[in-house]
């Protein structure tokens, strides 16, 4: 029965990881950097707890120590929840503005590290209590914990991604109490406390979950009336109201406001691109619900509106009566699927395509600003059709980062479309086409059709907005920064990095200078691999460190690839983790039961070759553009399999060669290597270098370790 305890703790662990990711994602506006930082903190604290536990082994009364730690864990979870929700109280943070990268790192560390540390300390205490410290028993604990990860991750992705955070925490705390109740000796006492816990939890879940969620939601302006808080595919949606003004936040970013504070920019983007076309009939709008009220003023036959977050449509429709007129327009076809999938299955060609999304601060937005996506859109435009998008601009003070951001997208457009016009202003509007651009005179003539229904658009305003001298100046500045290396692509997300740097420069210009220097000299990280190669004296710990780093690095390649080609990584994070853990369990069990009579030097050498081949399979899949939900699942499963196989064999070899010496250092090195991969790879190198180059680095690192063991194979162990 003790195995159930560790399985439940695996479920608790994955739920808590999802909780922290879910809470910090809105504060950093949906950026996938949060995945690397939060998981890095989690693994670092796990490594620290496993290492320090060796100093607690001589303590007695493990069960009482565990009970105290159980209570401490619950307290820290609740404190972390309140801490994250109250960050704005002591830091003057506005969720619509976000927080700095430095603050994200520090706040997440303060929140994640204590919870993960106590959780892993409890696991070690329980392990010490339930069994002797034998290799077979120790592997069993980790396998049971991995099974819990598989169960929890799968259940969350399929059935729990839309539940409230308070409900998720309530379920997690209930599972912790279940394990605490299990420690009671009397069966009657266990049943009594279990029934009491279930009744109390049901009462909170049924009647007060939503109230608690709203009450602790301070990161949105606390003076606003919070009308709705919900999660759709693990994306946070919040609707607030103050004095008749409505604001809708998606993952922390203001997606819609009524009345809009940016109505002039919204009208510019909705009208000017459409006015480029002589007589538009079919229009495609990707994101940007705020533009629909202007678009419906035109005599269009069909408007396809792609918005994956259908929950947003439901919330706005039910709470803002003024929007019903828009949603009831029969010309509007709302599509709730991924834009690439929709375009792939749709043969319709459009006169105008508008990308109405925000600045590409994350991969889920950036993938609509890449050369790869523009190629798809070019085939969906009519011969005289137009594509339009907007990026940050300024005619007063224009920092270099803003020009680089514009240049990265401009270079991707230029590689696809022969004709591009840039309309400068507070937001720069890019209009691209396969045919020549109309003269400004023609645009002003077409404006007369809708001029009476707009706030500011007039022929004089158009003359000012599209002034020739301003346009020439902006074109010159952007082309000055344009080059082949800065082209925004799916697998090399230059625009996303530049967007984050441009956004973060408002918080800390010095930090952005440091980040730029780090990016320019990031290839010095290769020297880390070279230095490790000369640490052969610590062969076992370095091998464990590289094993953990390789596993997490490759798993993050799967995370980034999934977000680019499938999307909704925050919903399917649990499932991908479950797939990885499934491979880890199978690899470990195979090593334990099917290779116990084989020569270790040969089996370990074979597993190293298999690991190298698996990394090469990543490169092949990417080269031939085979990344999809199925290939990524297979790759993630394989990473877990080769990692479990390799690490289990390493523990065997260590036990033989070191004559039973405590192998806690291997577990510490493995978890620490995983933390480094999260910080260095998932939150830096992969987005900076791109997926292909980062795979080459991990291949190089593993090959250096392979040479060690190849040499030892010749000599024998």
CATH of the domain at 618: 1.20.1250
What's the token pair of residue 330? Answer: 């029969």
CA dihedral 566, 569, 575, 577 (to 10 degrees): 120
Instruction: Give the pairing of strands 427-433 and 419-423.
Output: antiparallel
- pLDDT value of residue 136: 44
Angle at alpha carbon of residue 252, lines to 304 and 261, rounded to 5°: 70
Phi, psi (deg, nearest 5) at residue 685: -65, -45
Is residue 249 assigned to a domain? no
Residue 423 is given by DSSP the state E
- pLDDT value of residue 479: 83
Is residue 595 assigned to a domain? yes
- pLDDT value of residue 417: 96
CA distances in angstroms from 495 to 401, 483, 485, listed in the order given: 10, 13, 12
Dihedral sign computed on CA atoms, order 708, 711, 715, 717: positive
Find how far residue 185's CA is from the centre of its chain: 43
* Cβ atoms of 156 and 14 closer than 8 Å: yes
Give the DSSP H or E segment for 625. none
Q: What is the pLDDT of residues 290-339, one digit of tens each?
A: 999 899 999 999 999 999 888 898 898 888 888 888 888 899 999 988 89
* Cβ atoms of 505 and 516 closer than 8 Å: no
Q: Which residue has the tokens 């925000």?
A: 358
Residues 561 and 434 in one domain: no
- pLDDT value of residue 94: 67
- pLDDT value of residue 135: 40
Dist. CA 655–CA 51, nearest whole Å: 18
Distance in angstroms between the alpha carbons of the first and the last residue of the chain = 38
- pLDDT value of residue 184: 67
Is residue 303 assigned to a domain? yes
- pLDDT value of residue 355: 96
Angle between helices 629-657 and 569-593 (to 10 degrees): 40
- pLDDT value of residue 620: 93
The CB density around residue 597, as the number of other CB atoms within 10 Å, is 5
SS3 assignment, position 249: strand
Q: 387 lies in which domain range?
A: 262-310+321-490
Count: domains in the chain: 3
Residues 538 and 647 in one domain: yes
Q: Which residue has the tokens 């930090």?
A: 511
Using a 10 angstrom Cβ sphere, with 0-12 exposed, 13-18 middle and 19 or more buried, the burial of residue 396 is: exposed
* Cβ atoms of 225 and 242 closer than 8 Å: yes
- pLDDT value of residue 475: 87
477-516 exposure pattern, b = at least 16 Cβ within 10 A, e = fewer: bbeebbeeebbbbbbbbbbbbbbbbbbbbeeeeeebeebe
- pLDDT value of residue 139: 47
Residues 213 and 332 in one domain: no
Q: Residue by residue, what is the 3-state secondary structure of 278-295?
A: CCCCEEEEECCHHHHHHH
- pLDDT value of residue 176: 87
Residues 200 and 280 in one domain: no
Residues 137 and 176 in one domain: yes
Dist. CA 426–CA 413, nearest whole Å: 20
The CB density around residue 147, as the number of other CB atoms within 10 Å, is 19
Residues 394 and 347 in one domain: yes
Instruction: Give the pairing of strands 282-286 and 350-355.
Output: parallel
Dist. CA 425–CA 404, nearest whole Å: 16
* Cβ atoms of 31 and 181 closer than 8 Å: no
- pLDDT value of residue 384: 92
Q: Residue by residue, what is the 3-state secondary structure of 106-151?
A: HHHHHHHHHHHHHHHHHHHHHHHHHCCCCHHHHHHHHHHHHHHHHH
Phi, psi (deg, nearest 5) at residue 98: 90, -175
What's the full length of the chain, in residues? 717
Residues 328 and 215 in one domain: no
Residues 22 and 120 in one domain: yes
The residue among 319, 276, 318, 316 whose CA lies nearest residue 293 is 316
Using a 10 angstrom Cβ sphere, with 0-12 exposed, 13-18 middle and 19 or more buried, the burial of residue 212 is: middle
Is residue 382 assigned to a domain? yes
Q: What is the pLDDT of residues 79-137, one digit of tens each?
A: 999 899 888 777 666 666 788 888 899 999 999 999 999 999 888 877 777 654 434 44
Phi, psi (deg, nearest 5) at residue 282: -120, 130
Q: Which residues in the chain land under pLDDT 50?
A: 132-139, 220-221, 659
- pLDDT value of residue 177: 82
Dist. CA 277–CA 78, nearest whole Å: 56
SS3 assignment, position 389: strand
What's the token pair of residue 661? Answer: 């010496």
Sequence-separated (6 or more) residues with CB below 8 Å from residue 636: 555, 558, 576, 579, 580, 583
Q: Which of 167, 196, 223 is the last residue of a domain?
A: 223
Give the DSSP H or E segment for 350. strand 350-355
Query: Which stretches within 183-306 are classed as H helix?
Result: 187-207, 209-215, 263-275, 292-295
Is residue 694 assigned to a domain? yes
Dist. CA 63–CA 85, nearest whole Å: 33
Is residue 603 assigned to a domain? yes
CATH of the domain at 338: 3.40.50.150
- pLDDT value of residue 678: 96
Is residue 59 assigned to a domain? yes
Find how far residue 567's CA is from the centre of its chain: 10
Residues 69 and 209 in one domain: yes
* Cβ atoms of 579 and 629 closer than 8 Å: no
- pLDDT value of residue 711: 66
Dist. CA 207–CA 264, nearest whole Å: 44
The residue among 524, 700, 542 whose CA lies nearest residue 619 is 700
* Cβ atoms of 213 and 22 closer than 8 Å: no
Residues 13 and 109 in one domain: yes
Find how far residue 510's CA is from the centre of its chain: 26
Dist. CA 699–CA 701, nearest whole Å: 5
Sequence-separated (6 or more) residues with CB below 8 Å from residue 710: 605, 608
Q: Residue by residue, what is the 3-state secondary structure of 433-471?
A: ECCCCCCHHHHHHHHCCCHHHCCCCCHHHHHHHCCHHHH
Give the DSSP H or E segment for 536. none
The CB density around residue 710, as the number of other CB atoms within 10 Å, is 13
Is residue 316 assigned to a domain? no
* Cβ atoms of 667 and 541 closer than 8 Å: no
Residues 384 and 435 in one domain: yes
Dihedral sign computed on CA atoms, order 463, 464, 469, 474: negative
Residues 554 and 475 in one domain: no
């Amino acid at each position: 029965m003790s195995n159930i305890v560790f399985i439940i703790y695996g479920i608790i662990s994955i739920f808590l990881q999802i909780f922290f990711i879910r809470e910090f994602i809105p504060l950093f506006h949906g950026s996938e950097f949060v995945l690397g930082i939060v998981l890095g903190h989690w693994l670092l604290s796990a490594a620290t707890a496993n290492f320090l536990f060796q100093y607690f082994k001589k303590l007695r009364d493990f069960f009482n120590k565990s009970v105290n730690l159980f209570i401490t864990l619950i307290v820290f979870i609740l404190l972390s929840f309140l801490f994250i929700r109250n960050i704005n109280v002591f830091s003057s943070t506005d969720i619509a503005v976000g927080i700095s990268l430095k603050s994200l790192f520090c706040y997440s560390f303060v929140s994640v590290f204590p919870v993960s540390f106590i959780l892993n300390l409890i696991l070690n205490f329980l392990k010490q209590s339930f069994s002797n410290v034998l290799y077979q028993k120790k592997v069993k604990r980790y396998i049971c914990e991995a099974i819990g990860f598989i169960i929890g991750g799968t259940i969350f992705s399929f059935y729990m991604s839309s539940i409230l955070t308070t409900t998720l925490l309530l379920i997690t705390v209930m599972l912790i109490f279940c394990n605490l109740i299990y420690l009671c000796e009397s069966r009657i006492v266990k049943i009594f406390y279990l029934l009491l816990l279930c009744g109390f939890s049901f009462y909170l879940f049924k009647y007060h979950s939503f109230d608690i969620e709203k009450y602790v939601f301070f990161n949105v302006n606390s003076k606003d009336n919070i009308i709705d808080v919900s999660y759709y595919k693990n994306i946070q949606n919040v609707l607030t109201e103050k004095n008749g003004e409505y604001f809708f936040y998606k993952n922390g970013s203001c997606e819609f406001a009524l009345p809009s504070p940016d109505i002039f920019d919204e009208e510019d983007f909705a009208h000017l691109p459409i006015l480029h076309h002589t007589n538009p009939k079919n229009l495609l709008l990707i994101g940007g619900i705020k533009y629909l009220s202007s678009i419906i003023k035109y005599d269009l036959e069909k408007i396809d509106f792609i918005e994956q977050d259908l929950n947003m449509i439901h919330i706005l429709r039910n709470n803002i009566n003024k929007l019903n007129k828009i949603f009831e327009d029969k010309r509007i076809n709302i599509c709730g699927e991924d834009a690439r999938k929709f375009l792939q299955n749709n043969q319709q060609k459009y006169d105008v395509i508008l990308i109405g999304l925000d600045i590409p601060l994350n991969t889920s937005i950036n993938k609509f600003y890449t050369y790869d996506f523009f190629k798809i859109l070019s085939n969906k435009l009519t011969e005289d059709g137009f594509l339009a998008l907007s990026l940050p601009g300024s005619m007063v003070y224009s920092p270099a980062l803003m020009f680089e951001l514009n240049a990265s997208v401009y270079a991707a457009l230029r590689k696809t479309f022969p004709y591009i016009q840039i309309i400068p202003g507070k937001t720069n509007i890019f209009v691209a086409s396969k045919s020549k651009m109309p003269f400004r005179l023609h645009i002003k003539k077409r404006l007369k059709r809708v001029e009476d229904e707009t706030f500011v658009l007039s022929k004089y305003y158009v003359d000012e907005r599209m002034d020739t001298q301003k346009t020439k100046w902006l074109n010159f500045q952007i082309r000055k920064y344009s080059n082949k290396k800065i082209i925004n692509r799916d697998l090399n997300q230059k625009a996303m990095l530049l967007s984050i740097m441009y956004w973060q420069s408002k918080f800390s210009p010095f930090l952005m200078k440091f980040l730029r220097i780090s990016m320019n000299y990031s290839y010095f990280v290769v020297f880390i691999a070279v230095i490790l190669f000369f640490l052969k004296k610590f062969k076992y710990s370095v091998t464990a460190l590289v094993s953990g780093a390789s596993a997490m690095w490759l798993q993050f390649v799967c995370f980034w690839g999934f977000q680019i080609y499938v999307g909704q990584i925050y919903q399917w994070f649990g499932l991908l983790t479950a797939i990885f853990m499934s491979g880890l369990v199978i690899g470990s069990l195979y090593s334990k039961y099917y290779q116990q009579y084989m020569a270790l030097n040969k089996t370990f050498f074979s597993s190293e070759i298999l690991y190298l081949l698996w990394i090469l399979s990543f490169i092949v899949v990417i080269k031939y553009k085979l990344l999809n939900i199925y290939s990524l699942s297979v790759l993630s499963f394989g990473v877990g399999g080769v990692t479990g196989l390799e690490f289990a064999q390493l523990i065997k070899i260590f036990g033989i060669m070191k004559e039973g010496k405590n192998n806690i250092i291997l577990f510490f090195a493995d978890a620490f290597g995983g933390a480094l991969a999260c910080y260095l790879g998932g939150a830096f190198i992969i987005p900076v270098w791109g997926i292909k180059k980062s795979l080459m680095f991990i291949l190089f690192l593993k090959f250096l370790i392979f040479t060690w063991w190849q040499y030892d194979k010749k000599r024998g162990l």
